[in-house]
Amino acid sequence: MPHNAAAAAARLSIAPMMDWTDRHCRYLHRLLSCQTLLYTEMVTAPALVRGGAVHLLEYDVSEHPVALQLGGSDPRELAKAAKLGADAGYDEINLNVGCPSDRVQSGSFGAVLMEQPALVAECVAEMIAAVDVDVTVKCRIGVDDQNPQDVLPEFLARVIAAGCTRVSIHARKAWLQGLSPKENRDIPPLDYPLVQKMKEYFPNLHISINGGITSLDQAEAFLDSGLDGVMIGRAAYHQPSDILCQADRRIFGTGADTKPEDAVMAMIPYIEAHLVSGGRLNQITRHMLGLFAGRPGARGWRRALSEGASKPGAGPELVLDALDQLETLAARQEAV
């Protein structure tokens, strides 16, 4: 993979999402788009460095280009964790400066670091010194009563000075008091124009916009407006086919569209291997529920998988049966 493959792929990326973008989810997403940049769930630097939890770095080689997201605020520990990630073959190491959860706040990392740009810059500099791959930052526009118009450019100037050349910005504040992490993804208002303004201030910084983007049309409009990348989270998880099946052609300008049916068939050997190694069907199929969202038979597909996959002994035939039913229904609807 060329050195800056992750930067090129960042025209479209799937956001890091704890418990969602695990390796099975990423394997599926990669079947739907060859080029989109995929992010891991956040892995904390202490878990890797102090806890020795290097199994958290496992991924399938097909997932490239794939970025590892780290959480932490100790520059030395983050540098060590970044090195572990780079040695494991990740194409990019990303620092989480956006996650508002309590657990993360108490460890003094995530969005609360928006208040400590000097420390973030130190973390970034140490990480860059430790690895050859791109080190990037995912941040918010501010937290609590900060004024984003002031703090965001200051924050970006600091990380740029530390050597960071690429960021993703979730275009809303995190309110660290009184909102749950889930509410913090919906309630603080989005400010897309502010993120667009950052591109004017820092034309050489690769900026991906994130937050509330639900279609490729919207993604294309942001790219046309001059932003370098678009990062999509929840919509890509819930309607992966809508976001990913046309992404290679429309966003990257190369490659053919993919079909969710083909992805399902390609998942079968992957599922079989997972079951043979002692895994459960549901660990994979839970990420496949939205594959046919908005299409005839979507509800039956979702029901068959969600009800059947956790039953003892459930195997790939459940998935094949559900696909069969969906295709029969679609053929019947076409005939009328």
Is residue 20 close enough to count as binding ligand FMN by CB under 6 A? yes
Is residue 275 close enough to count as binding ligand FMN by CB under 6 A? no
Alpha helical stretches, state H, 162-259: 192-201, 216-224, 234-238, 240-244, 247-252
Site string for ligand FMN, 113-132 (x = CB under 6 A): --------------------
Q: At its nearest, how many Å lie between ligand FMN and the CB of residue 231?
A: 7
Considering the complex, state which of residue 35 and residue 40 has its C-beta at the smaller distance from ligand FMN: 40
Judged by CB under 6 A, the residue of 212, 260, 290, 297 near ligand FMN is: 212
Q: Which of 34, 99, 164, 245 is catalytic?
A: 99
Using the 8-state DSSP alphabet, how is residue 230 labeled?
A: E
Cα 105 to Cα 252: distance, rounded to the nearest angstrom? 37
Considering the complex, state which of residue 72 and residue 316 has its C-beta at the smaller distance from ligand FMN: 72
Among 109, 132, 120, 200, smallest CA distance to 161 is for 120
Q: At its nearest, how many Å lie between ligand FMN and the CB of residue 72?
A: 12
Is residue 16 close enough to count as binding ligand FMN by CB under 6 A? yes
Is residue 81 close enough to count as binding ligand FMN by CB under 6 A? no
Judged by CB under 6 A, the residue of 35, 44, 210, 241 near ligand FMN is: 210
Q: Omega into 316 within 30° of 0, i.e. cis?
A: no
Is residue 72 close enough to count as binding ligand FMN by CB under 6 A? no
Number of alpha helices (DSSP H) and beta strands (DSSP E) in the chain: 16, 8
* Those residues with Cβ within 8 angstroms of residue 105's Cβ, 6 or more apart along the chain or in another chain: 111, 112, 176
Is residue 17 close enough to count as binding ligand FMN by CB under 6 A? yes
Q: Give Cα 263 distance to the centre of its chain.
A: 19
CB 70 within 8 A of CB 45: yes
Q: Which residue's Cβ has the minimum distance to ligand FMN?
A: 233
256-291: b (≥16 Cβ within 10 Å) or e: eebebeebbebbeebbeebbeeeeebebbbbbbbbb
Q: At its nearest, how many Å lie between ligand FMN and the CB of residue 189?
A: 13
Q: At its nearest, how many Å lie between ligand FMN and the CB of residue 261?
A: 25
Quickly count: other Cβ atoms within 10 Å of residue 253's Cβ: 9
25 is catalytic: no
Is residue 173 close enough to count as binding ligand FMN by CB under 6 A? no
Active-site positions?
99
Using CB under 6 A, list all residues that contact ligand FMN.
15-20, 41-42, 69, 96, 98-99, 138, 170, 185, 210-213, 232-235
